Structure 1
Amino acid sequence: MFAERARGRSVASLARELNGRGVPCPADVDQARNTHRPGKGWIARTIALILENPRYTGRQV
């Protein structure tokens, strides 16, 4: 996801690919921690939040 975004792919195209490949979204995997999300597949905003997360980007340890 990070590499593809760095290559210039849009978050919407990443969401379409993940959904097309059947990759479960975070709400599908852990509904107890994601009760505020419907868990019906990837959306662009979820991907954007993951890509901006300081722990995932190395800005926070």
Structure 2
Amino acid sequence: MAVEAHSHPVGELTVADAHRVMQLHTECTVEGCRNKRAAYLTLVRAGHLVPDSGRPHWLL
């Protein structure tokens, strides 16, 4: 699985993959990087990340 590329990941990310993507894509935004967006959504759905209540939740 290409977690370092900026393309959309192939298939579902595991929670471990999602954590790695978030670590590798620290400079990216969730809005601008499809890989980071997929990782963010995976972590939110798994309960590992709670979205900031002051930010738009258009991704969820």
Q: Larger radius of gyration, structure 1 or 2?
A: 1
Smaller-chain TM-score bracket: under 0.3
Which is richer in helix? 1
TM-score (norm 2): 0.27
